[in-house]
């Protein structure tokens, strides 16, 4: 018998309140989630249990989002993993830098739940997989 499981999104942000908001949006869109509070923790979690998509903040202690995204893209196992930057940074140079390190999208905080759900479905399709 084939069972469905929900696709999982890794939320990477050092602000607990933002993680809480993103968890709610992701859950409402029908996806499972895990979280990490910095880039190093995120990279370790990705290696152990590869999520289906990463929501990644840019400004974090230790390994920032730019470096985390670069490391994801440099790794053969994760190079095609969708990475959506979710940040309070708004400049064109930040958006360009995110694209240069391999991010699929650049979403500015505060995040609209309906918009995020639309972007998740664009990259992942249905929240379920066989």
Q: Specify the pLDDT at position 3.
A: 60
Q: Looking at the domain assignment, is residue 45 inside a domain?
A: yes
Asked if 6 and 31 count as a contact pair (C-beta separation under 8 A), the reply is yes
Residue 129 maps to a domain: no
Q: Is residue 19 part of a domain?
A: yes
Identify the band that residue 4 occupies on the pLDDT scale cut at 50, 70 and 90. confident
Q: 13 lies in which domain range? A: 5-124
The residue-averaged pLDDT of 2-17 equals 89
Given pLDDT bands bounded at 50, 70 and 90, which one contains residue 5? confident
Rounded to whole angstroms, the Cα distance separating 100 from 57 reads 16
**pLDDT higher than 60, residue 1:** no
User: Residue 53 is part of a domain; what is its CATH number?
Assistant: 3.40.50.2300
- Is residue 130 one of the residues assigned to a domain? no
72 domain-assigned: yes
- Count of structural domains, the chain: 1
């Amino acid at each position: 018998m084939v069972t469905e499981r929900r696709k999982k999104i890794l939320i990477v942000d050092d602000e607990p309140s933002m993680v809480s908001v993103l968890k709610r949006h992701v859950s409402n869109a029908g996806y499972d989630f895990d979280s990490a509070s910095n880039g190093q923790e995120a990279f370790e979690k990705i290696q152990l249990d590869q999520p289906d998509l990463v929501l990644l903040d840019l400004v974090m202690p230790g390994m920032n989002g730019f470096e985390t995204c670069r490391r994801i893209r440099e790794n053969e196992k994760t190079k095609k993993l969708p990475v959506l930057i979710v940040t309070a940074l708004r400049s064109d140079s930040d958006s360009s830098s995110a694209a240069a390190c391999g991010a699929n999208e650049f979403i500015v905080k505060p995040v609209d739940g309906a918009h995020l759900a639309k972007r998740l479905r664009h990259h992942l399709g249905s929240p379920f997989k066989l």
